[in-house]
Structure 1
Amino acid sequence: MAPDHSQWKLNHTMLRVKDPKKSVDFYKLLGMSQVNKMDFPDNKFCLYFLAYDGPDSASTGAHWTDREGVIELTHNYGSENDDSFVINNGNKDPGKGFGHVCVSVDNIQAACKRIEDAGYKFQKKLTDGRMKSIAFALDPDNYWVEIIGQKPVDETKDVTSTETSAYRMNHTMIRVKDNEKSLKFYQDVFGMKLMRTSEQKEAGFTLYFLGYPGSYKIDDNSPNGVNPLAGKEGLLELTWNYGTEKESGQVYHNGNDEPQGFGHICVSVDNLDEACKFMDEKGVNWKKRLTDGRMKNVAFVLDPDNYWIEVIQNERIKKSSDW
């Protein structure tokens, strides 16, 4: 029997970071708040959970497991003082796989100016290239952070006014080898819905946006240059470059083999035991079952490209841990 996927959430995206202070400061500049922190001194690492928690945010005041669009920053003690420690941002070989996280903003020109004025660099500014409606900022570890607008660029002439509480942690992008296998996996096993497809035939790739729609209504009449899902949090963008499905072996890097960077995405579920039982019946490839190791409240599934997907309990629905 299939679980009630309508209560599942694409909860967070984990990124390893070199210096937590610098990284937390960057994401706080983007308007995020620290909604949880976990320290594991015996294992010498710390986790920082950031999300939008302002008056106009999508899940203000919610438990961290009952949100979408959370960013988890993982810091291994001492990396900030290690000159040889370099993060793999996922966008160059031999570590290409993860692409970016994306924040949608109320005023893209003002948002980008605010980031630039704070001294951060861009992989792509609004004025670069053909696409004038998106930008890519670089966080302290050179992860790409896509910036998209909730309104058309030509309607945001004021480059000084932006309200970060209106921002959304919109999506996480990963590259996939075989679009059909990945789409089937995320829809059949994780119950995600294909909410948008963007074919870029001339450029040789297609983008698929999946998620848990909930009450979100897609704006079919969104203005030109505005993503109709710009107001949503917790989307997964699959990027399929034509022809990769014909290549042998693993095409993309999962972020957990060397060189490391991106770690996983995480789905919170209504009933962790039942969800894992369902996945077992589906024949998933487990990285870690609930019964493995010391942590009995998390499981990890491998997708068709060996990206890790953490599965946890939504603590609002069923109390199970003292996170």
Structure 2
Amino acid sequence: MATDLSKYKFNHSMLRVKDPKASVKFYEFLGMKVINKMENPDSKFDLYFLAYDSPNALSHGKHWTDRQGIIELTHNYGTESDPEYKIANGNSDPYRGFGHVCISVDNIQAACARLEDAGYRFQKRLADGRMHHIAFALDPDDYWVEIISFNSVDATAEIKETRVESYRMHHTMIRVKDQEKSLAFYKDVMGMTHKHTLENAAAKFNLYFLGYGAAPTGGIDARTEGLLELTWNYGTEKDVDFKYHDGNAEPQGFGHICVTVDDLDAACTRFEERGVGWKKRLTEGRMKDVAFVLDPDGYWIEIVQNEAIRSRTGW
């Protein structure tokens, strides 16, 4: 059976965390809900899958493998009590690579004020810098969480209330060395659609937004979920020694993105035919229901069966 790329979904982004209680509390404050938890006491780690799941959410009530816009938090037992343990957030040299996750909100002023009133920290407030339409909050491990608005932003307007039930998990950003190689990989191999480009020649970087489904007309809707943002800084492709940190080499932080597919065996056969680099084939290791493909920068892409289409693991 052939695999159908139209049924693929950008399911989740995995972040390692030091203290799961603090991290889950933060993302729940942003309106997310733990929709699945996988405990692995034998291997001494747990996985927490968080997503927007209000009645108005795009994937409300769906099986966790049949969604987009999930954040997976990975906790390795004991890190919460280790004073020396620290996550690499992907934004500090020499370990830059992963950039941020991004949520979109109904009223960005109120959303940011709510976070600040709760004692949460910011990498960039709305008033900071030149871009007054976006902010970056910090989660308990200093991962950056971009905040954008799906309504018009008026810095002089009176702050209104915000409803976390309306929020979306919009995109995940990773930095790439060679934009042409990465765009070709995510389009031709992973089956994503190039949905939008933001060029910033003055600052010498471009942003490319990709995801599953048709390309939109008139720009990206901030209410969308399941987008991948590739950030390319001009000139990195010409430096033979340049390399981004994949988050899985020490010091660790970001782990992978995950795509769920209609037929796991057929999808992996297709990847093999296209000569992808593998971190783990289905036949390797103990987990025979999970594969990991490598993108041109060495980022891991987990491949998992969409259980709503075909039951494989019973997850």
TM-score range, shorter chain: over 0.9
Worse-matched range after superposition: 98-107 or 157-166: 157-166
Q: What is the alpha-carbon distance in structure 1 between the residues aligned to residue 58 and residue 162 of structure 2?
A: 17
Query: In the TM superposition, what is the alpha-carbon distance from 1:164 to its structure 2 partner?
Result: 1.1
Query: In the TM superposition, what is the alpha-carbon distance from 1:190 to its structure 2 partner?
Result: 0.6
- Give deviations 1:94-142, integer Å, cap 9, x for gaps: 2100000000001111111111111001000001111010000000000
- Give deviations 1:53-78, integer Å, cap 9, x for gaps: 00211100000000000000000001
Contact 1:108 1:156 in 2 (8 A): no
Give the equivalent residue in structure 1 for 2:92.
92
- Give deviations 1:156-192, integer Å, cap 9, x for gaps: 9342411112111000000000000000000011100
Contact 1:110 1:158 in 2 (8 A): no
Aligned mate of 1:232, from 221, 224, 228: 224
1:299 aligns with 2:297: no
Contact 2:101 2:173 in 1 (8 A): yes
SS in 2 for 1:153: coil
Contact 1:270 1:317 in 2 (8 A): yes
RMSD: 1.4
- Give deviations 1:29-55, integer Å, cap 9, x for gaps: 000000000010010000000000002
SS in 1 for 2:129: coil
Distance 1:194 1:201, change over 3 A: same
Give the equivalent residue in structure 2 for 1:196.
196
Q: What is the alpha-carbon distance in structure 2 between the residues aligned to residue 72 and residue 322 of structure 1?
A: 19
Q: Give aligned pairs, total.
A: 315
Query: In the TM superposition, what is the alpha-carbon distance from 1:248 to its structure 2 partner?
Result: 1.1
1:263 aligns with 2:255: yes
Give the equivalent residue in structure 2 for 1:223.
none
Structure 1 segment 118-129 matched on structure 2, within 5 A: 118-129=118-129
| TM-score, normalised with respect to structure 1 | 0.95
- Give deviations 1:192-227, integer Å, cap 9, x for gaps: 00000000000000000000126xx7362xxxxxx7
Worse-matched range after superposition: 228-237 or 20-29: 228-237
Q: What is the alpha-carbon distance in structure 1 between the residues aligned to residue 2 and residue 86 of structure 2?
A: 42
Structure 1 segment 179-190 matched on structure 2, within 5 A: 179-190=179-190
Q: What is the alpha-carbon distance in structure 2 between the residues aligned to residue 166 and residue 312 of structure 1?
A: 28
Letter in 1 for 2:253: G
Structure 1 segment 101-116 matched on structure 2, within 5 A: 101-116=101-116
Q: What is the alpha-carbon distance in structure 2 between the residues aligned to residue 7 and residue 125 of structure 1?
A: 38
SS in 2 for 1:65: helix
Query: In the TM superposition, what is the alpha-carbon distance from 1:2 to its structure 2 partner?
Result: 6.6
Contact 1:95 1:253 in 2 (8 A): yes
Structure 1 segment 276-295 matched on structure 2, within 5 A: 276-295=268-287
Query: In the TM superposition, what is the alpha-carbon distance from 1:302 to its structure 2 partner?
Result: 0.5
Query: In the TM superposition, what is the alpha-carbon distance from 1:281 to its structure 2 partner?
Result: 0.0
Query: In the TM superposition, what is the alpha-carbon distance from 1:154 to its structure 2 partner?
Result: 1.6
Contact 2:307 2:314 in 1 (8 A): no
| TM-score, normalised with respect to structure 2 | 0.97
Structure 1 segment 130-169 matched on structure 2, within 5 A: 130-154=130-154, 157-169=157-169
Give the equivalent residue in structure 1 for 2:54.
54
Query: In the TM superposition, what is the alpha-carbon distance from 1:152 to its structure 2 partner?
Result: 1.3
Contact 2:91 2:99 in 1 (8 A): yes
Q: What is the alpha-carbon distance in structure 1 between the residues aligned to residue 312 and residue 156 of structure 2?
A: 46
Worse-matched range after superposition: 258-267 or 244-253: 244-253
Give the equivalent residue in structure 2 for 1:44.
44
Unaligned regions of 5+ residues in structure 2, if any? none
- Give deviations 1:273-298, integer Å, cap 9, x for gaps: 00000000000000000000110100
Contact 1:109 1:156 in 2 (8 A): no
Q: What is the alpha-carbon distance in structure 1 between the residues aligned to residue 3 and residue 282 of structure 2?
A: 17
Give the equivalent residue in structure 2 for 1:175.
175
SS in 2 for 1:279: helix
Letter in 2 for 1:218: P
Contact 1:269 1:312 in 2 (8 A): yes
Unaligned regions of 5+ residues in structure 1, if any? 221-226
Query: In the TM superposition, what is the alpha-carbon distance from 1:3 to its structure 2 partner?
Result: 3.0
Query: In the TM superposition, what is the alpha-carbon distance from 1:251 to its structure 2 partner?
Result: 1.4
SS in 2 for 1:310: strand
Q: What is the alpha-carbon distance in structure 2 between the residues aligned to residue 112 and residue 55 of structure 1?
A: 23
Give the equivalent residue in structure 1 for 2:74.
74
